[in-house]
Amino acid sequence: MTPGGRTPGFRVVSSERPFTGRLLTVRVDRIADADGREGSREVVEHPGAVAALVVDREGRIALFEQWRHAVGGRLLEVPAGKYDVDGEPVTGTLRRELAEELGISTVLVPDAAGVLSALGLIASEERRDSVRSFVCPLGEAGELPAEGEAELRYRGQSFELTVPLHGDVAEAFHRAHEERYGYADRQREIELVAVRTADVRPGPEFGLPPGGSVRADGPCRLDLDGSTCWLPRGWVGVRDGATLRLRKA
C-alpha cells in the first residue's frame, strides 16, 4: 500500500543492479501497470545522510568549505555526513561529523554526564536578590550599600541607567550617560530610582568519586553510570579517573 491507503499503480516485474559503487548503487526496476504495459525505472540507492544547522549565540550559522568534484569547485555547506557505520544513531553521526568539520580531536565526557544539571544546582552558589525603591535626589538618599547596583537618571527623565555602587556613583552615572547618549550634564540633578543588592553564599564543596578504568575502540556503546556514550568508528575511549577521554585515532 502507498501513503493514503491507495493501491500502487505499478508492480515490479524484475530488478537488477548494473552498477555498485563505494557510495551509490544504481538499481533498474522493470515495472508493469494494471493493463500489463511495462517500462523501466532507474533508482539511485544511497545509505542516507544527516546534516546539522549550527547557530552560535550571536545568530551566526556555521558553514564549511568543501571541494566537490561534481561541480569542479568548492562549496559552502552546513556540516553533514553519510550513514556509513552500522548501528550508529543519528545523534552519533551528527556529533562525529561536526567534530571532524571543527577539527575536534578530543572529547571529554564526565563520569556523571547524565546528572550534571542536577549536580550544578547542588553546587551552585545561593543568591538572594533584593530591590529597594527610592525615587529621590541622589544627595538625599543617605548612606548606600557598599556593594550592588544603582538605577539612576537625570531629574525629569523617564529612563534609568544602572551603575555599580562602589566609588563615585554620580560620576559613574555621568560617564555611563555620555557613553550611551553622547552627552553628560554634570550640573543637572541626579535622581536615584532604586538600589539592587545581592546576598551570595558559596555552594557546598564536593567531589565525584573516580570511576573504574575503561578502554574501548569504536564503533561501540559505552554504558556509564547514569548515561550512555556512543564511540564512533576511528575513535578511542580511555577513562582514568572521573573523566572519559575520547580521542580520534
| Residue 132: predicted pLDDT | 96
Cite the beta strand spans of 34-154 per DSSP E.
Answer: 38-45, 49-51, 64-68, 73-77, 80-82, 106-110, 126-137, 149-154
Are 230 and 191 within one domain?
no
Burial of 116 (0-12, 13-18, 19+ CB in 10 A): middle
Amino acid at site 247? R
- Segment 140-190, tens digit of pLDDT: 999 999 999 999 999 999 999 999 998 899 999 999 999 999 999 999 999
Do 36 and 133 reside in the same domain of the chain? no
7 lies in some domain = no
For residue 24, being part of any structural domain is answered with yes
Q: pLDDT higher for 32 or 123?
A: 32
Say whether both 197 and 142 belong to one domain: yes
Mean of pLDDT values over 16-41: 92
Measured in degrees and rounded to the nearest 5, phi and psi for residue 245 equal -105, 120
Kindly state whether residue 6 falls inside one of the protein's structural domains: no
- Residue 145: other Cβ atoms inside 10 A: 14
Position 4 pLDDT exceeds 70: no
Mean residue pLDDT of the chain comes to: 88
152 and 194 in a single domain? The answer is: yes
Q: Is the peptide bond before 89 cis (omega within 30 degrees of 0)?
A: no
Say if residue 171 is in the same domain as residue 131: yes
The reported pLDDT for the residue numbered 1 is 47
Considering the domain architecture, whether residues 149 and 191 belong to the same structural domain is answered as: yes
The answer as to whether 192 is a domain residue is yes
Q: What is the pLDDT of residues 161-172, one digit of tens each?
A: 999 998 899 999
User: 31 and 88, same structural domain?
Assistant: no
Round to whole Å and give the CA distance between 244 and 69: 38
What range does the domain containing 184 cover?
A: 126-201
The helix/strand/coil state of 179 is: helix
Q: Are residues 116 and 137 in the same domain?
A: no
Q: What pLDDT is stored for residue 90 in this prediction?
A: 83
- Based on the domain organization, do 86 and 74 belong to the same domain? yes
Please name the residue that has the C-alpha cell 530591590. 131
- Whether residue 2 lies inside any domain: the answer is no
Within-domain flag for 3: no
Most confident of 61-70, 73-82, 172-181: 172-181
Position 20 in a domain: yes
Pair 225, 111 in one domain:
yes
Q: Please compute the mean of the pLDDT values over residues 130-137 and round it to a whole number.
A: 96
Domain tally for the chain? 4
